Amino acid sequence: MRFRSIGTDWTPTPTPTHSDSSNIGENRSEFVSHNPDCPLLAQESLVQRSSQSPMRLSLETSSQIRSSVSKRQTTCGSTNVPLTRLAVIRQSLQKKRFSVRASTLVDSARRKSTRAVYDARWKIFSNWCIRGKIDPLNPSSRRIADFLIYLFDDKKLSLSYIKGYRLMISHTLAFSKSSQVCADPAISELIRAMELNVLFLGQLLLNGIWLVFLILLLRLHISLWIKLLYSF
């Protein structure tokens, strides 16, 4: 206990003991806990987080890194596909360490109009692959068959165009490891089945035209015979 002077009077002021100071600390902590903006809360949360085991923190950190890397790979995987067929060929030649002069001569081996057509067809093929989450540079024979069926059923392209797409894909992928993907016998049989289907439909159409022609010719002959009969 100590004395404090207030004016002329002396009044004793109780000195806080150890138990009182602990109570004050508890009250102060209770007061701080009700204040959401107090920085002491951040310190307490840091202390609580730091109390976690280092092994658990390292596992959580490694899992977060792996998930972020996988997300980056999935988001950036589709952007690595070359936009043009010539870019695919140049990329393949660079991997095989061809010179720049050789790559330029290979690029100019076909006419400009043919290169433009091939580039347009490659763009359609690569976009179809990206929509189906397929690597255009390494497709399977099954995926090539699905693409040709897509051209035949959905795009309603003729067989000459479908064969042109197959030739373009085969020639482009021949520079990479997927050179034999279009040489699968199933692809050839698929084209053959499309030809038979088109021939069958064409035959039906031709037979229908002939049938209509015969009906018209028969009606013409009947009308002529009726006129001849009435003329007598």
Average pLDDT over residues 3-11: 47
Beta bridge partners of 2: 13
Pairwise pLDDT comparison (142 vs 182), residue with the higher score: 142
Report the C-alpha gap between 141 and 182 in whole angstroms.
Answer: 7
* Torsional sign, CA 158, 162, 163, 168: positive
- State residue 225's pLDDT score: 72
Average pLDDT over residues 155-177: 89
If pLDDT is split at 50, 70 and 90, which confidence band does 117 have?
A: very high
Q: Is the pTM of this model over 0.75?
A: no
All structural domains of the chain, each given as residue ranges with its CATH number in brackets, are 12-76 (no CATH), 85-200 (1.10.150.130)
Report the C-alpha gap between 225 and 219 in whole angstroms.
Answer: 10
Which of the residue ranges 2-16, 73-87, 163-177, 216-230 would you say has the lowest mean pLDDT? 2-16
E strand or H helix at 188, and its extent?
helix 185-231
Cβ–Cβ under 8 Å, residues 123 and 169:
no
Average pLDDT over residues 130-139: 92
- The Cβ of residue 186 has, within 10 Å, a number of other Cβ atoms equal to 11
Pairwise pLDDT comparison (175 vs 153), residue with the higher score: 153
**Collapsed DSSP state (helix, strand, coil) of residue 174:** coil
- State residue 37's pLDDT score: 46
Question: Is the model's pLDDT at 170 over the cut of 70?
Answer: yes
Q: Each residue of 49-87: pLDDT tens digit?
A: 444 555 554 555 555 545 544 444 443 344 455 567 888
Contacts of 202 (CB under 8 A, 6+ apart): none
Question: Is the model's pLDDT at 46 over the cut of 50?
Answer: no
* Torsional sign, CA 127, 131, 135, 139: negative
The per-residue DSSP string of 73-124 comes to HHHHHGGGS-SSHHHHHHHHHHHTT--HHHHHHHHTTS-HHHHHHHHHHHHH
The mean of the pLDDT values for the chain is 70
Residue found under tokens 């002939």: 210
131 CB-side CA count, 13 A? 9
Report the C-alpha gap between 2 and 11 in whole angstroms.
Answer: 9
